[in-house]
Structure 1
Amino acid sequence: MINIALVGNPNTGKTSLFNYLTGSYEFVGNWSGVTVEKKVGTLKNKTGHLIDLPGIYTLSPLSKDESVVSNYFISESFNGIVNIVDASQLERNLILTIQLLEYGKPIVIGLNMSDVAKQRGISLNEEKLSKELKVPVISIVARSGKGCNIMMDQISTIETKDQQPLKLDYGEILENGIDEFFYLIPSQTVQNLPLRWLALQFFEGNQIVRSYLNTLTSSDKLDELFEKVENQVKNSSNIKSLSQWIYSVRKDYISSILDQSLEKERTNQVPLSDRIDAIVTNKLFGIPIFLICMLFMFKLTFDWLGTPLSDSLDYFISGPLTSWISTLLQSLGTSNFIQSLVLDGIVAGVGGVIVFIPQIFILFFFISFLEDSGYMARAALVMDKLMESVGLNGKAFIPMIIGFGCNVPGVMAARTIEQPKERLITILLTPLMSCSARLPVYALFVGAFFAKYQTMIVFFLYVLGIVLALLMAKIFSKILLKNETSIFVVELPPYRIPQTKTLLRSTWDKGKGFIRKAGTFIFGGSVIIWLLSYAGPNGLGVEMDDSFLAIIGGLFAPILAPLGFGTWQAGASLLTGFLAKEVVVSSMNIIYHAPNMDSLQALLTQAYTPLSAFSFIVFILLYIPCLATVGTIKKETGSTKWTYFSIIYALILAYIITLIIYQCGKLLGF
């Protein structure tokens, strides 16, 4: 079977095309870097594999995810390339296409978003473009699949195509430099890689290629050649760098091609995307509009849809389902120990979290809608000035937004950030974003203590997470970002009405992780918590206050007392929250022996005051990341030191902020 690399700029519809050609589904988002690892799918016609590589603007990588592509081109074996380009942004997209053509593998170009191009008065003759580039150019609509079957046929025969590498004339100086490069790097040493392509990537400043070349010849000789050629180019022109010279040659070539195949109609009509952007990215209105979107999301999640659905599910689990399971266990003649384990441990623990599934899925649905509509990229743009003031840039806000769903993919999305230190800071800050796992804890407490204001309370918690992240970014950037220049490049895709099928699949893709945790972490945690509550130094079936769970939780009670919740129950619940934040709710359901959510909330009103309850959920927002997030931080940073730091600083921050809130609240008479 053949292997085909799928390559293109961000937001050109690359992942949508991958989904259509392979019949599989990968997450589709509308910002740069949503595909941060290569993904492999089998073509529908079973002729080969399609490898979906991260969206990039150039083969010379700036960020960690972009380096995946250059590494793939150097170290992997593949038969051809599918290059998807945006018909409305051809001049920019073809820069990458030129680099791919210079590589010399057979290539098929998918011309996507022709509808957007027509709206902008751009008419393209793909036959002329195909003739100029000497490769197949196929007009497609990746979202709907139009033209994709024709592309499938072209891909199936790609192995038989004889593709000669594109050879542009880069001028006498650079061409002489390429000849000298050939002397330094003999063709037999490069493992069948195109030598001229390697030379051009080297002179362009591709660090992945440079690292590869350093294994083949002297680094000093390469440095000497690069400096010599760059100085000659600078002295003979107004160009400031060798990469800029290469870019200018490619741009001139692209202009000559488009002169032959592209027609632009004069139109006085302002594109719809531009008209909407004039409002949503406005300096005055941008951030308020983003906050209004968040507020609307929480109204849906809590007041309008989420809470009524969760109440109905709670009624079913605590009523009919529990009765059926109890009757079944009795009819099977099980012991009291097994009945208590199943009903008081598993059903109470797992069921206490499952009741919040409607709210979780509504939250994910809304986030998916914003992503697929094109608004998320605008949110990053709007936040750029604010992020810049704390030492980061707008792109750092994207992982934080993703962190609203789950901190794990949020941390992973930091790969799209070009600067290593900015990437590190973003990884450290993303766990401060209020993920969906914390939502059940919020829903439990705000329903018990702040029923009339639950939307505003949860909205405040999300904003508090953002504000504290910005504050910590300012502190960290002063320490870590000395002499580092920030780069902010974000694609603004056209606005689109999300397809229902894509929207539902994206929502499910996010939400299934929550359900999976209910069957793993939460199930296992519930069993362990119940066993610790059932057993004690005096044996089995002890009173809850004499259990091992009470003893363990009691160790933390004195430390938590200044925060307003110095009980063993709170200490035990917070300890189990390290597994997954949802387990806090499971713990409380088991500890308080609550038959349903209403009963648990009633019991909580006896154990907490409104002020201590608010302090508790603020602590839940800020204290240590969950186990999965900690593991991801370790993987992404490659550092045990920074992993421990992420835990310790979050715990200290949570304690200080919660202490201030509770003690100030007491002074004010709350």
Structure 2
Amino acid sequence: MSENITIGFIGNPNCGKTTLFNAYTGANLKVANWPGVTVEKVEGAVKDHDLNIHLVDLPGTYSLTSYTMEEQVSRQFILSDDVDVIIDVADASALERNLYLTLQLLELGKPVVLALNMMDIVEKRGMEIDTHRLPEMLGIPVIPVSARKRTGLDVLLHVAAHHKDCTDTDCLIHHHTYKSKHKHDHHAEYAMVYSDAIEDKIDLIIGALKRKYPKLTNYRWYAIKLLEQDKEITERYPVNLPEVIDRNYESDIINEKYDFIQEVVREVLVNKDRQDALTEKADRALTHRFWGIPIFLGVMAVVFFLTFTIGDWLKGYFEWGIENVSVLLGNGLESAGVNEVVCSLLIDGIVAGVGGILTFLPNIFILFLALAFLEDSGYMARVAYIMEGIMSKLGLSGRAFIPMILGFGCTVPAIMASRTLENRHDRFKVMLITPFMSCSARLPIYILFAEMFFKERAMVVAYSMYMISLVVAILVAAVIHLIDRKKSENYLLIELPEYKVPSSRTMAIYVWEKIKDYLTKAGTTIFIASIAMWFILNFGLHGYTTEMSDSFGAVIGHYLVPFFEPIGLGFWQIAVALIAGVSAKEVVVSSCAVLFGVPNINSGAGMDTLVGILGNVGFGQLNAFCLMVFCLLYIPCAAALATIRKEAGSTRWMMLSALFQLVVAWGVTFIVYHVGLMV
């Protein structure tokens, strides 16, 4: 009969933990070079050694002293009885920093296996790690692996499976250069041993804990946490030893841990000072105090150049396909004598709505391919680093810019990434400004209206939306900071990984997940929205009508016109499309296809037709630009609103956030429209 065991993967951010987890489970998890990617534990399963192995990928953390929500998730799971073996994934090229978490894990008294990941980078630098001496000093198995090259994976799982019952001190022998003179020879029992003064205090606290809490296990870990005055442990397991716990010993314990780490590194690491020359040279420019931000803006400009040029070339084939499907379906329905209402629903509703969105798929593909390349190469971590100066002036840290950058892809994971911030006040600020970032769902709107009204300048106009989103988000953050005047203590702590050639597998997983989400949305939300839009535009108080002006949609739109007129969008069709866009931003495009009866809205002929229709009602370049600005800034999609509610734990905050965005969107668009009228 198969036995069940649970293995928890834990490690510093960017150590390759999620890549390793993916290699075992085949899970298509997002892998990127910044913290906050895994914002909650993710689970998978494999079968090996007649064992049913339950694998858990935990959020990246630098220590078990939890501050952020992601660190709390990792700590709570590791401390629970749910985990049988801990695989500590360490970046072998940054061994000194990664071993701090390892020492904390050893003190838990649970089976730990150290996976030395990124050994290929160690070899590339000409460094060497003594993998025989390291397990002697730590007292645990140490397995060299490369998650990217998928080497050492079978050995790691084999060792973890056999190490699951190892909780005593005889599993491995600790060999230390230092000989203890303490009355209790702790070096015979533990890898990490402190100074005699601290060890005396630990022994006294252990005695008190045993008397007061006889059912506790691993008294040493709890004693150390009480010495550190860990808030959670102090509240749950208080002991009355004022003469022992006379102050906070956390800094002393940290310093002694790093003293031991330096001893370990001196013995096991050869050529530790060798750095990657390419990374060092590139960072002189890319993280430069003055040139870093202009270079980032230039990189994003190149991304949108590729999105438009290559994407538009591929888009032509999609337009041709959708147009043929529309014609063939129309001819087939007509020859079959299908009812006029059903024909209208299928052609004018579903094909026009969903088909119009599918033609933007090449542009979306190129955008996400470029973003995946930048993330996996290690560049995006630098963007957060160079933004530290600006964000600190807004009462936030450079870490707060990580959710904002993620917002270029999708607002939902961007909002979730706010968990990486330690302070609840900062999280709420970030949740308020992140939706202003231009997500990929808005890209079809920019492409359609920019190409219709701005022709050869379409790329520049679309790129300006992303710059406006950055400027508005930063200005809103500045205003909030001026109001509350509360300075963030959540300083940026982020690893700047080596630049590397992006993994084709990682990029493929990332892009496929985004494309799959886009297609799923087209087949669900946009499909339903297109049908609903067709219904309200083809039915009125007297039933089915071919006169759109008599429909429910026209009635709703006319009521909304006074609100939109001062910002240059006083057209009932546009008002209805914008309201529909709250379900998903792409719906604005599919709604326009249905509203204006243009089956293949993204084709050359379709765009010319729509320009003519809009021109007849006085909708020109300025109105198109205002529409893009309003779509950029107004209420986020329903999925993003639900995520805000979940992360904030408040429906009221979600409603206030949506109202706030609507007010900002209206105000900014009002300024743009009236300045445009004067120019």
* TM-score normalised over the length of structure 1: 0.92
Give the drift of 1:133: 1.3
Would you say the 8 A contact 1:41–1:51 is kept in 2?
Answer: yes
Q: How has the CA–CA distance of structure 1 residues 571 and 191 changed in structure 2, closer, same or farther, with 3 Å as cutoff?
A: farther
Matched with 1:591 is: 595
SS of the residue corresponding to residue 490 of structure 1 reads coil
Q: How does 1:69-218 map to 2 (within 5 A)?
A: 69-164=74-169, 166=190, 168-182=192-206, 185-186=209-210, 189=213, 193-207=217-231, 209-210=232-233, 214-215=235-236, 217=237
Q: How has the CA–CA distance of structure 1 residues 325 and 163 changed in structure 2, closer, same or farther, with 3 Å as cutoff?
A: farther
Matched with 1:32 is: 35
Of 248, 255, 267, the residue aligned with 2:262 is 255
Q: How large is the Cα RMSD of the aligned pairs?
A: 2.1
Q: How has the CA–CA distance of structure 1 residues 260 and 653 changed in structure 2, closer, same or farther, with 3 Å as cutoff?
A: same
Distance in 2 of aligned mates of 1:554 and 1:191 = 70
Question: Residue by residue, what CA displacement relative to the aligned partner does 1:156-205 show, whole Å, maximum 9, x if unpaired?
Answer: 22324344473633334433443454455448958654222123234335
Distance in 2 of aligned mates of 1:56 and 1:413 = 14
The amino acid of 1:260's aligned partner reads E
Of 410, 415, 430, the residue aligned with 2:414 is 410
Which shows bigger deviation, 434-443 or 113-122?
A: 113-122
SS of the residue corresponding to residue 110 of structure 2 reads coil
Distance in 2 of aligned mates of 1:494 and 1:364 = 22
Give the drift of 1:92: 1.1
Q: How has the CA–CA distance of structure 1 residues 585 and 265 changed in structure 2, closer, same or farther, with 3 Å as cutoff?
A: closer
Identity percentage over the alignment? 39
Of 573, 580, 584, the residue aligned with 1:580 is 584
Give the drift of 1:486: 3.2
Q: How does 1:382-401 map to 2 (within 5 A)?
A: 382-401=386-405
Question: Residue by residue, what CA displacement relative to the aligned partner does 1:627-650 show, whole Å, maximum 9, x if unpaired?
Answer: 111110111111223212211111
Distance in 1 of aligned mates of 2:348 and 2:215 = 63
Would you say the 8 A contact 2:28–2:513 is kept in 1?
Answer: no
Would you say the 8 A contact 2:12–2:60 is kept in 1?
Answer: yes
Would you say the 8 A contact 1:120–1:271 is kept in 2?
Answer: no
Would you say the 8 A contact 2:304–2:463 is kept in 1?
Answer: yes
Give the drift of 1:243: 1.2
The amino acid of 2:553's aligned partner reads L
Of 12, 16, 21, the residue aligned with 1:13 is 16
Distance in 2 of aligned mates of 1:74 and 1:160 = 17
The amino acid of 1:368's aligned partner reads A
Distance in 2 of aligned mates of 1:620 and 1:229 = 61
Give the drift of 1:422: 1.6
Give the drift of 1:655: 0.8
Pair 1:301 & 2:307 matched = yes
Matched with 2:468 is: 464
The amino acid of 1:646's aligned partner reads S
Which shows bigger deviation, 500-509 or 376-385?
A: 500-509
Q: How does 1:284-323 map to 2 (within 5 A)?
A: 284-302=290-308, 304-318=309-323, 320-323=324-327
Distance in 2 of aligned mates of 1:40 and 1:275 = 39
Distance in 2 of aligned mates of 1:384 and 1:484 = 12
Q: How has the CA–CA distance of structure 1 residues 560 and 351 changed in structure 2, closer, same or farther, with 3 Å as cutoff?
A: same
Would you say the 8 A contact 2:634–2:661 is kept in 1?
Answer: yes
Of 599, 624, 631, the residue aligned with 2:642 is 631
Distance in 2 of aligned mates of 1:202 and 1:359 = 55
SS of the residue corresponding to residue 569 of structure 2 reads coil
Question: Residue by residue, what CA displacement relative to the aligned partner does 1:210-230 show, whole Å, maximum 9, x if unpaired?
Answer: 3xx534x5xxx55x75x7556
Distance in 2 of aligned mates of 1:36 and 1:614 = 36
Matched with 1:357 is: 361
Give the drift of 1:369: 0.7
Matched with 1:237 is: none
Would you say the 8 A contact 2:33–2:381 is kept in 1?
Answer: yes
Matched with 2:56 is: 51
Distance in 2 of aligned mates of 1:20 and 1:175 = 41
Q: How has the CA–CA distance of structure 1 residues 390 and 73 changed in structure 2, closer, same or farther, with 3 Å as cutoff?
A: same
Q: How has the CA–CA distance of structure 1 residues 145 and 633 changed in structure 2, closer, same or farther, with 3 Å as cutoff?
A: same
Which shows bigger deviation, 116-125 or 430-439?
A: 116-125
Of 647, 659, 670, the residue aligned with 2:670 is 659
SS of the residue corresponding to residue 288 of structure 2 reads coil
Q: How does 1:243-642 map to 2 (within 5 A)?
A: 243-264=250-271, 271-302=277-308, 304-318=309-323, 320-330=324-334, 333-480=337-484, 482=486, 484-597=488-601, 598-602=604-608, 603-604=610-611, 605-606=614-615, 607=617, 608-642=619-653
Would you say the 8 A contact 1:536–1:542 is kept in 2?
Answer: no
Q: How has the CA–CA distance of structure 1 residues 335 and 202 changed in structure 2, closer, same or farther, with 3 Å as cutoff?
A: farther
Distance in 1 of aligned mates of 2:226 and 2:606 = 65
SS of the residue corresponding to residue 34 of structure 1 reads coil
SS of the residue corresponding to residue 401 of structure 1 reads helix
Would you say the 8 A contact 2:391–2:398 is kept in 1?
Answer: yes
Distance in 2 of aligned mates of 1:160 and 1:179 = 26
Question: Residue by residue, what CA displacement relative to the aligned partner does 1:558-587 show, whole Å, maximum 9, x if unpaired?
Answer: 111111120110110111011011111111
Q: How has the CA–CA distance of structure 1 residues 599 and 496 changed in structure 2, closer, same or farther, with 3 Å as cutoff?
A: same
Question: Residue by residue, what CA displacement relative to the aligned partner does 1:327-361 show, whole Å, maximum 9, x if unpaired?
Answer: 44345543222111111111111111111111111
Matched with 1:236 is: none
* TM-score normalised over the length of structure 2: 0.91
Distance in 2 of aligned mates of 1:229 and 1:599 = 82
Q: How has the CA–CA distance of structure 1 residues 191 and 437 changed in structure 2, closer, same or farther, with 3 Å as cutoff?
A: farther
The amino acid of 1:243's aligned partner reads E
Q: How has the CA–CA distance of structure 1 residues 265 and 514 changed in structure 2, closer, same or farther, with 3 Å as cutoff?
A: closer
The amino acid of 2:21's aligned partner reads F
Distance in 2 of aligned mates of 1:191 and 1:337 = 73
Give the drift of 1:73: 2.2
Q: How has the CA–CA distance of structure 1 residues 199 and 557 changed in structure 2, closer, same or farther, with 3 Å as cutoff?
A: same
Would you say the 8 A contact 2:103–2:192 is kept in 1?
Answer: no
Q: How has the CA–CA distance of structure 1 residues 436 and 205 changed in structure 2, closer, same or farther, with 3 Å as cutoff?
A: farther
SS of the residue corresponding to residue 387 of structure 2 reads helix
Would you say the 8 A contact 1:60–1:204 is kept in 2?
Answer: no
SS of the residue corresponding to residue 565 of structure 1 reads coil
Which shows bigger deviation, 474-483 or 414-423?
A: 474-483
Give the drift of 1:265: 6.5
Question: Residue by residue, what CA displacement relative to the aligned partner does 1:469-508 show, whole Å, maximum 9, x if unpaired?
Answer: 1111112123345254232101111111112122111111
Distance in 2 of aligned mates of 1:473 and 1:125 = 49
Q: How has the CA–CA distance of structure 1 residues 16 and 581 changed in structure 2, closer, same or farther, with 3 Å as cutoff?
A: same
Distance in 2 of aligned mates of 1:464 and 1:566 = 23
Would you say the 8 A contact 1:187–1:195 is kept in 2?
Answer: no
SS of the residue corresponding to residue 10 of structure 2 reads strand
Question: Residue by residue, what CA displacement relative to the aligned partner does 1:566-618 show, whole Å, maximum 9, x if unpaired?
Answer: 01101101110110111111111001001322344332341411011101110
The amino acid of 1:473's aligned partner reads A
Give the drift of 1:86: 1.3
